[in-house]
């Protein structure tokens, strides 16, 4: 699987979100944040700074999901990535 | 004989509508004897229905009324009887309305004494007219002025003869006011003993057939937990925390992060918190998840009541726990709330439909609470409606920290309603007795003033009007005692032979003579005083009426 151009294939990381104070946020609270956490599965041919295996935060408003051979993936473009951890 | 013909029920009235096109509605006028005759006959009708309930041998009255459950009411309560009466004749009905107003005022002020007030009103008016008719030379205005003057003397005398209520008499006052139901008297007295004399007792309908009392020493809020996941005492389905911080706000918490500043110390120091604020579903879920998975000690409830009442109650809660009240109405921003804005309670018990806060002194300011209670008592003294008064009393109770609720049960709605009225009366009577003291009951206090007292000698100059006024008052003050004896089938001369001492009288229940106060035959001073003052006020109004204007109407059989 090789994405073309600036596209990146990622897989969402679902985890419990806890604030610094120790307050547990529910999935819906976490959903209210614009940016989500994910792991990069494959990066496009023109993508330079992001590599498979990186954990990133991306803008979920510009993301789309698709199913490839039974796996759920999310597709974004390079410019939707805000942070590489 | 006064009785209502049954065909009257099927009559309906209509204002003469053919005149309506003229742009005015025609009036019927009545003057002098005709007017007063109608007023008197209206009062007589009302009084006849009401006064048969007076005293320990009072009779029950059966009322058909669409306003009551199943269309009928059985009662021994004078107010209920009076309220149900409207007469078909417009002038008679005016008289009824005036008397009802006075009776209602007595009931609102003192909680009891409606019947006494109506009996006194009737006696004052009839005696007044007798004197005016017998002696046409009397100056009516002067006579009415003298009536007020003499009645003031009587009120002063009553105030002087009031005795302080002791614990054992509390039961007697309650029993008498509940129309001599010892069981009810006992329940009321025990509740007052628990909540203390400054405590508040309210009456509610029971869901079961039993009549029982519950007392709460603390602040009660009629709201339960927002999610059953907050329960930590599974046996009782309650959430119980001790040493709890309290957040008081009336704006919706839509995002849990708004509370971050407040929750931080709670989480880190492992404290407990009660949120009194509307929360959206998501926040409730998040809080519940934190309670279940994260072991935080949080419980959230809705603010009590609605509208202006909610605002008032929330202020009370904030004052009593020492919290800063965050309100939309005052433009507060919830995300600015921090730890020092929280109040503190020694214990909270949250169940599915109510919350009880046991107060602590950690954060609250006793002076602020006392000031607020004083303000509420002022408002209570000024409130005109019973519902307003009750609401204020509940608030005072929740601030002073003692509230007793008597749940009245009954096998049928009818029985429950009748009992409820009596218990409500009795509770008010006890409250009145605690406020101003008590007098010998059974109408004896007024009767004694009329027959034995020398206060009337103080009236000078003793002209014809003054003498007439004294005589009217003297005769009228005997009316309640006479009526109580009449209801028991007795005459004054049967039981009162030597009656020189004010406390000495006849106990109808035991059929013996003795010290009335010792025997527990007592009336709250406030009840007797209000009944007399309101009766005088109505009597003077009616006696000074000479012309009556009513809407002209015709009565036709219903098609």
Given a contact cutoff of 8 angstroms between Cβ atoms, the answer to whether B49 and B61 are in contact is yes
Mean pLDDT of all residues belonging to chain B: 84
Of A22, A26, A32, the CB nearest to B268: A22
Q: Indicate which of A22, A25, A32 best probes the interface with B, i.e. most B CBs within 10 Å of its own CB.
A: A22
Nearest to B205 by CA among B61, B418, B454: B418
> Tell me, what's the pLDDT at B1?
38
Give the count of alpha carbons within 13 A of B334, CB side only: 23
Question: Looking at chain B, which residues constitute the CATH 3.30.260.10 domain(s)?
Answer: 167-216+402-436
Rg of the Cα atoms in chain A: 13
Measured CA to CA, the distance from residue B118 to residue B124 in angstroms comes to 10
> Tell me, what's the pLDDT at B7?
44
Give the domain B220-364 fold.
GroEL (3.50.7)
Q: Over 70: is that where the pLDDT of B442 sits?
A: yes
The verdict on A31 touching B (C-beta cutoff 8 Å) is: no
Find where tokens 């998975």 sit: B293
- Rounded to the nearest angstrom, the minimum Cα separation between B266 and chain A is 9
Residue B175 CB burial class (10 angstroms; 0-12, 13-18, ≥19): buried
Measured CA to CA, the distance from residue B271 to residue B256 in angstroms comes to 18
pLDDT tens string B182-224: 888 888 888 888 887 667 788 888 888 888 888 777 788 889 9
Helix (H) or strand (E) holding B536: helix B525-543
In Å, what is the CA distance from B503 to each residue of B159, B184, B479? Answer: 15, 25, 18
- Rounded to the nearest angstrom, the minimum Cα separation between B212 and chain A is 45
Which domains are assigned to chain A? 7-84 (2.30.33.40)
Q: Over 80: is that where the pLDDT of B19 sits?
A: no
- Write out chain B residues lying below 8 Å of A32, CB-based: 255
Of B268, B286, B296, the CB nearest to A29: B286
Does B289 contact A24 at a Cβ distance shorter than 8 Å?
yes
pLDDT tens string B156-190: 988 888 888 877 778 888 887 777 788 888 888 88
Q: If you count DSSP H runs as helices and E runs as strands, how many of each does chain B have, helices first? A: 19, 19
> Tell me, what's the pLDDT at B11?
45
For chain A, what's the residue count? 85
Measured CA to CA, the distance from residue B145 to residue B369 in angstroms comes to 45
Nearest to B124 by CA among B475, B482, B513: B475
- Rounded to the nearest angstrom, the minimum Cα separation between B375 and chain A is 41
> Tell me, what's the pLDDT at B101?
85
pLDDT tens string B85-112: 889 889 999 999 988 888 888 887 777 7
CATH code linked to domain B167-216+402-436: 3.30.260.10
Q: Find out whether the peptide bond into B555 is cis, omega within 30 degrees of 0.
A: no
Does B264 contact A21 at a Cβ distance shorter than 8 Å?
yes
Q: Label each residue of B247-303 as H, E or C.
A: EEECCCECCHHHHHHHHHHHHHCCCEEEEECCECHHHHHHHHHHHHHCCCEEEEECC
Using 50, 70 and 90 to split pLDDT, how confident is the model at B4? very low
The verdict on A19 touching B (C-beta cutoff 8 Å) is: yes
pLDDT tens string B114-133: 889 999 999 999 999 888 88
In Å, what is the CA distance from A53 to each residue of A37, A38, B255, B420? Answer: 13, 10, 33, 75
Helix, strand, coil shares of chain B as percentages rounded to 5? 55, 20, 30
Mean pLDDT of B537-542: 90
pLDDT tens string B300-314: 999 998 888 899 899
- Write out chain B residues lying below 8 Å of A29, CB-based: 255-257, 282, 286
How far separated are the first and last CA of chain A, in Å rounded? 24
Q: Over 90: is that where the pLDDT of A76 sits?
A: yes
Q: Look at residue B108 and give its three-state secondary structure.
A: helix
Measured CA to CA, the distance from residue A78 to residue B147 in angstroms comes to 98
The verdict on A53 touching B (C-beta cutoff 8 Å) is: no
- Write out chain B residues lying below 8 Å of A28, CB-based: 282, 285-286
Question: Looking at chain B, which residues constitute the CATH 3.50.7.10 domain(s)?
Answer: 220-364
- Write out chain B residues lying below 8 Å of A25, CB-based: 256, 286
Q: Over 90: is that where the pLDDT of B244 sits?
A: yes
B6-161+440-557 CATH choice from 3.40.50.300, 1.10.560.10, 3.30.420.40, 2.60.40.420: 1.10.560.10
The verdict on B101 touching A (C-beta cutoff 8 Å) is: no
In Å, what is the CA distance from B180 to each residue of B79, B372, B383, B522? Answer: 17, 37, 30, 12
Q: Label each residue of B37-71 as H, E or C.
A: HHHHHHHHHHHHHHHCCCCCCCCCEEEECCCCHHH
Helix (H) or strand (E) holding B194: helix B182-195
Does A24 contact B267 at a Cβ distance shorter than 8 Å?
no
Measured CA to CA, the distance from residue B513 to residue B559 in angstroms comes to 60
Query: In terms of CA atoms, which chain B residue is nearest residue A20?
Result: B264
Q: Over 80: is that where the pLDDT of B253 sits?
A: yes
Q: Look at residue A82 and give its three-state secondary structure.
A: strand
Name the token pair of B489.
């089938």
The verdict on A26 touching B (C-beta cutoff 8 Å) is: yes
Q: Look at residue B151 and give its three-state secondary structure.
A: helix
Q: Look at residue B349 and give its three-state secondary structure.
A: strand
Rounded to the nearest 10 degrees, how much is the dihedral formed by the CA atoms of B108, B111, B116, B120? Answer: -30
Given a contact cutoff of 8 angstroms between Cβ atoms, the answer to whether B200 and B402 are in contact is yes
pLDDT tens string B498-526: 666 777 888 887 888 888 888 878 888 88
Query: In terms of CA atoms, which chain A residue is nearest residue B255?
Result: A29
The secondary structure of B402-455 as a DSSP string is -EEEEEE--SSHHHHHHHHHHHHHHHHHHHHHHHH-EEETTTHHHHHHHHH--G
Instruction: Count residue pairs from A and B with Cβ separation < 8 A.
Output: 37
Give per-residue burial for B414-441: e unless 16+ CB within 10 Å, then b: bebbbbbbbbbbbbbbbbbbbebbbbbb
For chain B, what's the residue count? 559
Of A21, A24, A26, the CB nearest to B260: A21
Q: Over 90: is that where the pLDDT of B328 sits?
A: no
Using 50, 70 and 90 to split pLDDT, how confident is the model at B458? confident
Please identify among residues 240-269 of chain B the ones whose CB lies closer than 8 Å to any CB of chain A.
255-257, 260, 263-264, 267-268
Task: Provide the angle, in degrees to the nearest 10, between the axes of the packed helices B366-382 and B386-400.
Answer: 170
Q: Over 90: is that where the pLDDT of B415 sits?
A: no
- Write out chain A residues lying below 8 Å of B256, CB-based: 23, 25, 29
């Amino acid at each position: 699987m090789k994405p073309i151009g600036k596209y990146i294939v990622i897989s969402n990381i679902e985890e419990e979100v806890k604030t610094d104070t120790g307050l547990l946020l529910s999935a819906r609270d976490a959903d209210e944040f614009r940016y989500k956490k994910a792991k990069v599965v494959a990066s496009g041919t023109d993508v330079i700074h992001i590599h498979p295996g990186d954990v990133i935060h991306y803008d979920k408003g510009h993301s789309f999901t698709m199913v490839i051979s039974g796996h759920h993936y999310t597709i974004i473009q390079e410019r939707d990535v805000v942070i590489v951890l | 004989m006064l009785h209502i013909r049954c065909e009257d029920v099927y009559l309906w009235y209509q204002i003469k509508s053919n005149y309506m096109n003229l742009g005015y509605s025609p009036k019927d006028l009545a003057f002098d004897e005709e007017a007063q005759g109608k007023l008197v006959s209206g009062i007589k009708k009302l009084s006849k229905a009401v006064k048969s309930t007076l005293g320990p041998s009072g009779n029950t009255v059966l009322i058909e009324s669409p306003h009551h459950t199943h269309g009928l009411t059985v009662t021994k309560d004078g107010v209920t009887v009076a309220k149900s009466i409207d007469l078909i004749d417009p002038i008679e009905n005016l008289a009824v309305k005036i008397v009802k107003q006075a009776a209602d005022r007595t009931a609102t002020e003192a909680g009891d004494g409606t019947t006494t007030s109506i009996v006194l009103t009737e006696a004052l008016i009839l005696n007044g007219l007798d004197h005016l008719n017998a002696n046409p030379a009397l100056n009516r205005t002067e006579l009415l002025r003298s009536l007020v003057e003499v009645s003031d003397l009587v009120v002063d005398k009553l105030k002087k003869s009031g005795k302080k209520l002791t614990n054992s008499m509390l039961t007697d006052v309650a029993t008498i006011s509940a129309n001599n139901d010892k069981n009810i008297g006992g329940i009321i007295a025990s509740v007052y003993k628990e909540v203390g004399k400054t405590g508040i007792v309210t009456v509610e309908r029971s869901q079961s057939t039993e009549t029982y009392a519950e007392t709460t020493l603390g602040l009660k809020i009629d709201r339960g937990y927002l999610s059953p996941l907050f329960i930590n005492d599974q046996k009782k389905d309650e959430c119980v925390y001790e040493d709890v911080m309290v957040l008081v706000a009336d704006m919706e918490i839509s995002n849990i992060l708004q509370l971050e500043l407040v929750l931080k110390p709670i989480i880190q120091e492992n404290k407990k918190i009660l949120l009194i604020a509307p929360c959206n579903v998501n926040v409730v879920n998040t809080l519940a998840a934190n309670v279940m998975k994260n072991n935080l000690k949080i419980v959230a409830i809705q603010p009590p009541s609605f509208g202006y009442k909610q605002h008032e109650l929330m202020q009370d809660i904030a004052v009593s726990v020492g919290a800063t009240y965050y309100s939309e109405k005052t433009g507060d921003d919830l995300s600015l709330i921090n730890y020092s804005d929280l109040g503190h309670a020694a214990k909270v018990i949250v169940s599915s439909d109510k919350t009880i806060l046991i107060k602590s002194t950690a954060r609250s300011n006793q002076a602020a609470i006392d000031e607020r209670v004083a303000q509420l008592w002022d408002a209570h003294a000024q409130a005109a409606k019973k519902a307003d008064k009750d609401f204020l009393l509940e608030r005072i109770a929740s601030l002073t920290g003692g509230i007793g609720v008597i749940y009245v049960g009954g096998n049928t709605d009818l029985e429950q309603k009748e009992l409820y009225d009596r218990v409500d009366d009795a509770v008010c009577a006890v409250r009145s007795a605690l406020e101003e003291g008590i007098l010998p009951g059974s109408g004896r206090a007024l009767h004694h003033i009329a027959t034995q007292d020398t206060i009337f000698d103080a009236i000078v100059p003793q002209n014809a009007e003054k003498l007439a006024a004294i005589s009217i008052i003297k005769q009228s003050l005997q009316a309640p005692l006479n009526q109580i004896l009449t209801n028991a089938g007795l005459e004054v001369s049967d039981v009162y032979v030597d009656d020189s001492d004010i406390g000495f009288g006849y106990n109808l229940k035991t059929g013996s003579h003795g010290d009335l106060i010792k025997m527990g035959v007592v009336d709250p001073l406030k009840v007797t005083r209000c009944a007399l003052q309101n009766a005088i006020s109505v009597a003077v109004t009616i006696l000074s009426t000479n012309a009556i204007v009513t809407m002209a109407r015709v009565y036709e059989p219903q098609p």
